[in-house]
Amino acid sequence: MHLTRFQDLLDAALQQAEPQRLLFVFARIGLPENATPEQRERFERREGGTISPCLCVDKVPGEVAGFAALVEESAATGQDWDLVFVGALAGRGGIAPGSDEAAQPLRFMVNAINNGRVADFAVFDRDGEVMQFH
């Protein structure tokens, strides 16, 4: 599926055969300790850095009014973030997974992000722009 905006993700989740629970992992981009001049230069060009998850939440698509609402809600946590990674968990028998069922997949997402495996997730910056990692 090709996403051009956050709403595409919400629309796709609502069109699935089984109800979905969306998994959100918010992350900060930073410089590694003892960064080299080359790493600092790439970071300044927004081409590098480390990704550190800082906040997780799960929601059914109907609980997300849009990207602006997600940003506003995240501000209430006091956590600053640069990117949000989004995954989905499919329900069964017409019932969306509950938050308790999302806990383990969220941990897997955090571990994957910490290990640099981000290709399986939709990723958006703070402005709601779709991000691509190469």
CB 134 within 8 A of CB 48: no
Is a pLDDT exceeding 80 seen at residue 133? no
Alpha-carbon distances, residue 103 vs 56, 59, 123 (angstroms): 9, 12, 20
Is a pLDDT exceeding 80 seen at residue 36? yes
Give me the pLDDT at residue 119, please.
87
DSSP assignments along 6-62, one per residue = HHHHHHHHHTSSS-EEEEEEEEEEEPPTT--HHHHHHHHTTS--EEEEEEEEEE-GG
Give the model confidence (pLDDT) of 54-106 as tens digits: 999 999 999 999 999 999 999 999 999 999 999 999 999 999 999 999 999 99
Distance CA 19, CA 6 (A): 18
Question: pTM of the prediction?
Answer: 0.91
